[in-house]
Homo-oligomer: A and B are copies of this chain.
Amino acid sequence: MTLETENSTEVEVKTGIDADVRTNGYKHFAEISPFENSSKEFGIEVLSDVGDKISIQTRLSGSIKDWICETSAETVFSKGRIQIDAGEKLVVEKRSFVKTSRDLVSSSDNDLRDIEKLSFEELLGENNKVWEKRWEDSDVVLNGNNYAQRALRVSLYHLLRAHVPNDSRVAIDAKGYAGEAYWGRFFWDTEMYLLPFFTATAPEKARTLVDFRVQSLEGAKQNAKRYGYNGARYAWESDSQGIDCCPNWQYGDHEVHITADVVYGLSYFAHATGDLDYLKDKASEVILETAKYWMERIDINTKTKQPVLLGVMGPDEYKAISNNNFYTNLMVKFALETAASIAKEKKAPESEWRAYEKTAEMLPLLKREDGLYLQCEGFDDLAEPQFEVLWKDRSKPFAAQVSQERLYRSKCLKQADVLMAMYLFPSRFSNEELQKAWDYYLPYTTHDSSLSTAIHAILACRLGKMDESWKFWMTSCGIDLDGGAAEGIHIAGAGGNWLVVVFGYAGLLSPLESETLTFNPRIPEQLQSIEFPLCWRNAKVRGKMSKNIVRIENKGETEIDVTVWTKTKSIKGAEAISWEL
List the interface of chain A (C-beta within 8 A of B). 226-228, 249, 253-254, 299, 301-303, 308, 310-311, 320-321, 323, 377-378, 380-384, 390, 402-406, 408-409
B310:A253 contact, CB within 8 angstroms: no
A228-B409 contact in complex given A310-B382, A323-B378, C-beta closer than 8 Å: no
Per assembly, the copies of the chain total: 2
> In the complex, are the beta carbons of A404 and B249 less than 8 A apart?
yes
Min C-beta distance of A88 to chain B, whole Å: 63
Which 3 residue pairs of A and B lie closest in terms of their CB atoms, listed nearest first?
Answer: A311-B409, A299-B383, A310-B409
Chain B residues near A226 (CB, 8 Å)? 403
The closest CB in chain B to the CB of A386 belongs to B299
Cross-chain contact of A405 among B227, B377, B405 (Cβ < 8 A): B227
A320 touches B321 (CB 8 A): yes
Knowing A228-B402, A403-B228, A403-B253 touch, does A408 contact B378 (C-beta < 8 A)? no
Q: Which residue of B lies closest to A304 (CB)?
A: B381
Considering residues A302, A320, A409, which has the most beta carbons from chain B within 10 angstroms of its beta carbon?
A409
Query: CA separation between A227 and B402, bound complex, in Å?
Result: 7
Closest to A298 in B: B383
Residue of B nearest to A411 (CB): B302
A405-B378 Cα distance, complex, nearest whole Å: 20
Q: Which of B308, B310, B402, B405 contacts A311 (CB 8 A)?
A: B405
Q: Which of B308, B320, B405, B408 contacts A381 (CB 8 A)?
A: B308
Given A228-B406, A321-B408, CB of A301 within 8 Å of CB of B249: no
User: Is A303 a contact partner of B409 (Cβ separation < 8 A)?
Assistant: no
User: CA–CA, A384 to B406, complex, Å?
Assistant: 29
Q: How far is the CA of A299 from the CA of B440 in the complex (A)?
A: 20
Contact B228 A408 (CB under 8 A): no
Complex Cα distance, B300 from A384, in Å, reads 9
Rounded to whole angstroms, the CA-CA distance of A252 and B508 in the bound complex is 48
Across the interface, A301 reaches (CB within 8 A) one of B301, B321, B381, B404, namely: B381
Residues of B within 8 Å of A377, CB to CB, are: 378, 381
Task: Give which listed residue, B253, B308, B402, contacts A404 with CB less than 8 A.
Answer: B253
